[in-house]
Amino acid sequence: MPEHNDCIFCKIINGEIPSAKVYEDNEVYAFLDISQVTKGHTLVVPKQHTKNIYEADDKLAESLFARIPKIANAIKKTYQPAGMNILNNNEEPAGQSVFHLHIHLLPRYGEQDGFQ
């Protein structure tokens, strides 16, 4: 999969930057977020470089979102959270800091998980 300029997530997908893999197939890569907001905080990314949701075509969106339930269940099984938030930030004012489309899977453990 060709790397896009200096994109940090393309480097992670290509293995140039190490990551803790949660799931991988031909289309999608999932790995633990480096700053774990809660235990098991995971990012799911398309292998094809895509800036954010505005650049996702139907095929890419279908392959990315189709994997989310399976990956969410794998995280649920491993970490046994009480719940889970699924989030996606697009453009800087909305909190996007890495400009390679990614979905946050955020396990929730109840009042003590430190995240509001």
Q: What does the binding site for Zn ion look like in residue numbers (CB under 5 A)? A: 4, 7, 9-10, 49, 100
Nearer to ligand 5GP (CB atom), residue 53 or residue 61: 53
- Which residues would be at the binding site for ligand 5GP (CB under 6 A)? 8, 17, 19, 31-35, 43, 89, 95-98
Catalytic status, residue 102: yes
Place of tokens 């890569």: 29
Closest to 6 in 3D by CA, of 46, 49, 57:
49
85 binds, among ligand 5GP, Zn ion, none (CB under 5 to 8 A by kind): none
Find the shortest distance in angstroms from Cβ 68 to ligand 5GP.
15
**Sheet order of strands, 83-87 included:** 21-24, 28-32, 42-46, 103-108, 83-87
7 binds, among Zn ion, ligand 5GP, none (CB under 5 to 8 A by kind): Zn ion
Buried-state track 24-48, b at ≥16 Cβ within 10 A, e below 16: eeebbbbbbbeeebbebbbbbbbbb
Active site residues: 102
